[in-house]
A and B are shown apart, each in its own frame.
Chain A
Amino acid sequence: MRAISRHCFSSSDPPGQEKVQRRTLLKSAVLAGISLSLEHVQDAIAGKSSDLDEPEIWDSHIHLSSFAGTTPEAKVDSLLAYADVMGISRLITFMGWPWAARPTPENVRSQNDQVLQALRHAPKRLLGYVYLNPADGPGSLDEIQRCIVDGPMVGIKLWVAERCDQKLLDPILSQAARLNAVVYQHTWIKSTGNQPGESTPAELVELARRHPGSSSICGHSGGNWELGLRAMRTAPPYLQFEIAGSDPTAGITERAVRELGAERIIYGSDAGGRSLATQLSKILGAEISDTEKALILGGNIRRLLTPILRQKGMLS
């Protein structure tokens, strides 16, 4: 059996475009593991999708805690072995271990240290978001300074410490906007009941509305994605919809594309608690165009991160 690797996706053979540009695009795409549709190539040549010139799969949601090994380095090696098999070029990781719903400042710093250690081990493959507990306002701003301004991280991870429509998140969002850092907010609408500090997509929409300059991601699509999509109908266009970390229920991606457009949907896995395979299947198994798949699998998150990566000189 062939691995899902750079050779797995066969190349289409688009006719009638400028030959050198086309050849260059196709070569880079095939090397990245994804082949281009005719429409995609035409758009790229026309300059409509410059961010997709070299499409890659970027996994926007990785937790190292579930991978084999006791150190960040060992866990990264375990992760990358699977990522290579599945053709994933870059992976965004956040939170170390152990987890706590309302982490102490020491626990937050410890988890961020583990992520920093992982980033040093594989700087070409991994990107990191700083994990914060918004209840600790000054500590959160200090961690942003340490991990993003003075460190290599490019975004912020908010989990279940506080509901995200609270005013105490405003300084964090404002600082993130100033730094062009992406804000990833975990959201769920659980039929069985949310945790006390667990946010819903509607609460994130409220937060995003207060911060027009921000770039936020609605994590997990609210879990109950039909309800998450309903909340997103009234969201500002700079709020993105991430489909990681739920069962691979058929139709999620098709409905999200229809409701929001492919340019607002982001692939992530939530591995290792989730399988890279099941989460990739949400896009690779969806009945949408190849252009849309390329955006969701990597194009969109790359577009969001391009400003901060450029500032940091991290664009390859």
Chain B
Amino acid sequence: MNTLAPVIETLTVLIAEDSAADRLLLSTIVRRQGHAVLTASNGEEAVRVFTRERPQLVLMDALMPVMDGFEAARQIKQLAGEELVPIIFLTSLSESEALARCLDAGGDDFLPKPYNQVILAAKINAMDRLRRLQATVLHQRDLIARHHDYLLQEQRVAKAVFDKVAHSGCLNAAPNIRYLQSPYALFNGDLLLAAYTPSGDMHVLLGDFTGHGLPAAVGAMPLAEVFYSMTGKGHGLAQTLREMNARLKRILPVDMFCCATLLCLSTERRVVEVWNGGMPDGYVHEVVSGRRTPLVSRHLPLGVLSAEAFDDRTEVWPMALGDRIFLLSDGVLDTADANEQLFGVERLQQVFAANRHPDHLFEEIEQALAGFRGQVRDDISMVEISLSPDQPLRSPTLVYSDSGQASPLDWSVSFEFRAETLKHYNPLPYLLQLLLEIHGLRGQSGALYSVMAEVYSNALEHGVLGLDSSLKCDARGFADYYLQRNERLAQLSSGYVRVHIQVLPTAAGGCLTLRVEDSGAGFDVEKVLALPQEVDRLSGRGLSLVRQLSSDVHWSDGGRSVCVEFCWEALA
């Protein structure tokens, strides 16, 4: 058997020893093991040699003149920094206190005199193993740190790009929206978007992608683009949802999807229309009665079903001015305390129940979460939107297809939308795009869209579908109304809505005449117009809006045909 342990790697070993004889003896032993040797005759010299040569291991005599081994060990450890330079004390001291001092001073081991070659070799090898382990750990730590920095840098870039897309909406500008979201929520898969439709309604989306990190963030970009472009063009929730679902289904892997609540809030009509696929219950909070209506998930998340199987049915709830909508991500409910207890729906309900002033609800939930956990998690998204009377009727920035050429001013066009089309297709965005080719109309695009939306839905709902608007006299009837609307639309097999558009130049500028006819039974125009305008009634708001916003409006053919005019002055 070989008395010397096999040498794995040649080391440079510093031997600090004041006795010349011992120095020589040790040097010989260590060299014979295959290592390179440096020597010093006192502590001060040892520190000097260490600084100059950076040996990998030190054999240190404890008691030396000028500077003893304890002090030299302290200084060498300090110079070595994070790198492990093992120091083995050589000592004739035997009392445990002295041996403990060697280790306290930073020594890693000690070797009693007189020297035993076999033990010395074994200790050097053992220390070398430790040294290399430490080096590996440091290397891997640095590697991880570098990767981490790289990842953060990537996230910063991705976030900067994403912010340009995602925050092109009205999330921060709208006075009636409050939200709480960590700046890097995107990388937890959370997404919050808000934008105005051409008629001044507000669309809001709170989404939650599966997973974490960049994979969770990649789907957010196409989703945001679909949301903004379709909202801006006046598409309704159903069309927007269909497009979002189809887009995500196409680009995401099978196991990825996006839970989402999408809603359309209309100050004009005092309603909210909601689609919830896979998100926790949201709430409509009635301020006067204190009642909360849950907005329940009725659908599979976006990106799961094929376009054919996708269900775009929405629910509609009435709202009064000042009422609030509250949406949250599952991070809120899954906030866990020190004992892994979840915050849960019941605690959230308690906060709702304890609320006395609706303006403070948002803070109260925040405080409840913070009090429950001690701190707020970074994957929490909450948003509160109130139905505010001063919601601006603003036009979003539309992308015009023209290149500044003169707009067409003398033309007309007619459409007939029949049953199968009425079921699935909303022609308004298309018609609006067409009309905005006329430069003079762009200033009133919001009003134009609102009027078009109103006369079209009157023609469809009261005309073709024969729904009675007096149903909408209370909240219950309101829900019935929309239920019946969906049922009758699904069963529709005949009927039409015709839209005739005529544009004529006038001396001052131009005039648009929009005539909408339907296949319904018509209505007693004089009787309806004679009704008093009750501002707070849920029904009957449409006609006064149309009269307010357009230059002229009149009915014919027993209420089956309505004609609206918009005039404009030539642009300077």
- Is B one of A's binding partners? no
Binding site for B on A (CB under 8 A): none
Binding site for A on B (CB under 8 A): none
